[in-house]
Amino acid sequence: MYFNPVEAMERSALEELQVDRLKDTLENAKNAPFYGTRLAGFNPADIQTVADITKLPFTTKDDLRSQYPYGLLTRPLDEFVRLHASSGTTGTPTAIFYTQKDLDSWADLMARCMYACGCRKSDVLQNMSGYGLFTGGLGIHYGSERLGMLTIPAGAGNTKRQIKLIRDFNVSILHIIPSFALYFAQKVQEEGFDPKDMPWRIALIGAEPHTEEVRQKIETMLNIKAYNSYGLSEMNGPGVAFECIHQNGMHVWEDAYIVEIINPETGDYVPEGEIGELVLTNLTREGMPIIRYRTRDLTRFIPGQCACGRTHRRIDRITGRADDMMILKGVNIYPMQIEQCLMTIPEVGQNYLIELVREGVSDQMTVKVEIKEEYFVEDMRILQGLQKKIAKNLCNEILLTPRVELCQHGSIPKTEGKAVRVIDRRDKD
Ligand code: ADP
Ligand code: ZN
């Protein structure tokens, strides 16, 4: 039923395990130049319960950057076997190092994730995310092999070849970034394939924020079950949290991570169930443990127990990064609010782009929206009506009326990696 019995461990035993591992992690972390200084006055024996973690300072992305490249390593460089880097979606990348043991435990966690949403040894997985420094490539790859699946390292892009591999080798599991999945789904239809005839049954989707509406769109268009996958390079990569078959939040593997949700302004815990910033601590990483890492990702705990029997707590889908927030005319707006609204409008296609410009003293938002081919008609009145409808729906959601530009399907550029949803030209104008 579980890949590893630890997944259903009693909470009290799980918390004891966390305390033991946290102490060991702190001892070990002190060997790194950064934590050697940062934790100099701290005695790991002062950790008696998981809650004692609040006695420790946070680690931020800026800390990692200031320690680039070796400041967080607990041992000599020749004990490391792999390097990854965050994709640099927000600024300078950070380098992440792994020992062989770290790679092994990461692969175990990944295999556990895939098992939880129904992947089995007999499945064939096609990894359609980019390889290279991005952890979604090799991370998923080794996890898939650990589970025993036949693994096809297809990489991103080249839809025709992807479809051929899928059909030739009876691929049942896809790993695909959600924005690419929407594009891919469209291409599958254009190539004249009926998704019902395809061998796939499960898509592992993650690596970028996406709404429930997008998940449903992927599921319908591809005739597949899509499970949300969360992780970040600083915490290994994917495999931090994953949905089980119930698709109701992602279990965070608490034997490997301590998970906290804080108010980003005060650093205090938010009340259970409220949205805040996710903070993660490694418990099983020997080469480069990171303590109380402020992910800047926003989410909340899902209260209650999961029907699957796993005891590890669940977090809700990430609503965005704290730094994704746009402030426009004094209103705080997240790209996911816009996505959620757009994706409920039947005429809207697969892609959109938000552009911000400064005009005189005021800021303007333009939302470019791809429209499904069948709705992209020549009658201006119909198109203007649609434009107004979209602007009005958006206004109901974000409380100001953006300009809406209707675009032909496929006309908004699609990158192979994570989607760029917002272009902010305000500083440059
Ligand atoms: P970068 O920060 O450069 O994108 P990573 O490749 O390490 O580097 O990406 C990790 C980040 O990607 C996370 O902090 C989060 O913002 C985002 N992310 C990963 N998985 C998901 C997911 N399932 N849902 C939403 N966002 C995700
Ligand atoms: Zn579950």
Q: Rounded to an integer, what distance in angstroms lies between the CA atom of residue 300 and that of residue 362?
A: 34
**Ligand 1 neighbourhood includes 113 CB (under 6 angstroms):** no
Q: Rounded to an integer, what distance in angstroms lies between the CA atom of residue 120 and that of residue 50?
A: 34
Q: Which of 363, 365, 368, 366 is nearest to 429 (CA)?
A: 363
Q: Which of 174, 172, 163 is nearest to 123 (CA)?
A: 172
Do residues 425 and 357 lie in contact, with contact meaning Cβ atoms separated by under 8 Å? yes
Q: Which amino acid, residue 178?
A: P
The number of angstroms, rounded, from the C-alpha of 115 to the middle of its chain's C-alpha atoms is: 18
> Above pLDDT 70, what percent of the chain?
98
- How many A from CA of 13 to the centre of ligand 2? 19
Which atom of ligand 1 approaches the CA of 295 most closely? 14
Strands, sheet with 301-302, edge to edge from the N-terminal-most edge strand: 150-152, 124-127, 173-175, 202-206, 225-232, 237-243, 250-252, 314-315, 301-302
Q: Rounded to an integer, what distance in angstroms lies between the CA atom of residue 291 and that of residue 115?
A: 28
Does the pTM surpass 0.85? The reply is: yes
pLDDT in tens, 297-334: 999 999 999 999 999 999 999 998 888 889 998 889 99
Q: Rounded to an integer, what distance in angstroms lies between the CA atom of residue 285 and that of residue 220?
A: 39
Q: Which of 238, 228, 235, 237 is nearest to 302 (CA)?
A: 228
Confidence of residue 182 (pLDDT cuts 50, 70, 90): very high
Q: Rounded to an integer, what distance in angstroms lies between the CA atom of residue 319 and that of residue 412?
A: 23
Task: Give the pair of three-digit tokens for residue 304.
Answer: 């209650």
Q: Which of 387, 106, 356 is nearest to 233 (CA)?
A: 106
- How many A from CA of 165 to the centre of ligand 1? 27
**Ligand 1 neighbourhood includes 320 CB (under 6 angstroms):** no
Q: How many CB atoms lie within 10 A of CB 104?
A: 14
Residue nearest to atom 9 of ligand 1 (CA): 232
326-424, what's its fold? GMP Synthetase; Chain A, domain 3 (3.30.300)
Ligand nearest to the CA of 2: 2
Average pLDDT over residues 5-15: 98
Residue 87: pLDDT over 70: no
Which atom of ligand 1 approaches the CA of 88 most closely? 3
Q: Rounded to an integer, what distance in angstroms lies between the CA atom of residue 391 and that of residue 400?
A: 9
Q: Rounded to an integer, what distance in angstroms lies between the CA atom of residue 288 and that of residue 73?
A: 5
Q: What is the CATH number of domain 1-323?
A: 3.40.50.12780
- What angle is formed at CA 251 by the lines to CA 250 and CA 256, rounded to 5 degrees? 130
Range list of β-strands (E), 236-312: 237-243, 250-252, 257-262, 276-282, 293-299, 301-302
Return residue ranges of the chain for CATH 3.30.300.30. Answer: 326-424
- How many A from CA of 226 to the centre of ligand 2? 15
Task: Give the pair of three-digit tokens for residue 185.
Answer: 């789904």
Residue 429: pLDDT over 60: no
Q: What is the phi/psi pair of residue 333, to 5°?
A: -135, 135
| pLDDT computed for residue 86 by the predictor | 80
| pLDDT computed for residue 361 by the predictor | 84
Residue 289: pLDDT over 90: yes
Ligand nearest to the CA of 323: 1
Residue nearest to atom 25 of ligand 1 (CA): 209
Eight-state DSSP code of residue 409: T
Return residue ranges of the chain for CATH 3.40.50.12780. Answer: 1-323
Ligand 1 probe mutation, 140, 210, 230, 275, most atoms within 8 A of CB: 230
Q: Which of 342, 354, 349 is nearest to 411 (CA)?
A: 349
What are the beta bridge partners of residue 84? 96
Q: How many CB atoms lie within 10 A of CB 24?
A: 15
Residue nearest to atom 24 of ligand 1 (CA): 209
